[in-house]
Amino acid sequence: MKMIRMSLGAVWLASAFLLSASANAQQAPSLRSGYSLAREVNLVGTVSSIVEDSQTGPLGTNVMVQTGSGLVDVHVGSASYLKLNHLELASGDSVRIIGENFTSGTNAVFVARIVQKGTTAVAVRSPKGMPLWRNGTRLQATAKTQSQGGAL
């Protein structure tokens, strides 16, 4: 599974470099508008700090990245997932992150799809924005009431 994700990450990374815009000056859409490859941004900078329990974005790990144009709050999903895929981030690391700017409530958040440090790149979302750190949709068995009960 891990090897598959890494190779997919490499493929998506390559495609993203071709597709991504160098900048996206348009107003960020809300998370409810969905992910779009056409709006992707290629972010390059240095990790300023890591917030594993972010209070301002989606549940999960946020990384503050210092770029040439300022500090960007990046949601990278789960630090555990990155670690599982042999990528650990620390302050001072040079990173390249492909993702998209969104508004989340009153906050702005950069949602990462691919996180790269050195030669290691990890896809944290699919090209359509599906979170991969929780291995996609997790339909809890509890939501399937038709599977409960004893009807034969």
Partner 1 sequence: MSRSIMTYSALFAAIVVAAFTCACGGGGGTISANPAPPPTSGPYSASTLAGTYAFEMSGQDQGGFFARIGSFAANGAGGITGGVLDLSSGIVPGVATVTITSGTYMIGTNGKGTLSLVDSAGETIGLSIVMTSTTAGLITETDGTATASGNFTVQDATTFASVPNNLTGPYVFDVSGVDPNGAGESFVGQFAANGAGGITTGVVDVNDDFTASGPLPVTGTFAADATYGSTFGRGTATLILNGTTVNFAFYAVGAGRIRMLRTNFPATSVGDAVAQTGTIPTATSGLTGSFAFILAGSSLSGSDVRAGRVSLSSGTVSNVQLDDDDSSASGSGNSNHTAIPAGTISASTYTIDPSGDGRGTLTFTDSSAGTFSFIFYLSSPTQAVIQDVSTGSGTLPIITADGSMQMQTGNPFSTAGEAGNWAFNWSGESINGTTGILAEEDFVGQYTQTTSGSISGGVDFTELSANSVVTGAAMSGTMAVAGDGTLRNTYSITLATSPSSTLNFAAYLVDANTIFVVGVDTHRTITGSILRNF
Positions in the binding site for partner 1 (CB under 8 A) = 1-2, 4-5, 8, 29-35, 52-61, 75, 77-80, 102, 104-107, 109, 111, 125-126, 128-152
Return the number of other C-beta atoms located less than 10 Å from residue 96's C-beta. 18
CA–CA gap between residue 45 and residue 66 (Å, rounded): 5
Closest separation in Å from C-beta 68 to partner 1: 26
Closest separation in Å from C-beta 31 to partner 1: 5
Closest separation in Å from C-beta 106 to partner 1: 6
Nearer to partner 1, 46 or 135 (CB): 135
Q: Considering only CA atoms, which of 35, 72, 37, 64 is closest in space to residue 48?
A: 64
Nearer to partner 1, 68 or 140 (CB): 140
Nearer to partner 1, 1 or 18 (CB): 1
CA separation (Å) from 14 to 33, 51, 78, 143? 25, 28, 23, 38
Closest separation in Å from C-beta 61 to partner 1: 7
Q: φ, ψ for residue 99 (rounded to 5)?
A: -175, -155
Nearer to partner 1, 26 or 140 (CB): 140
Identify the residue whose tokens are 């301002």: 56
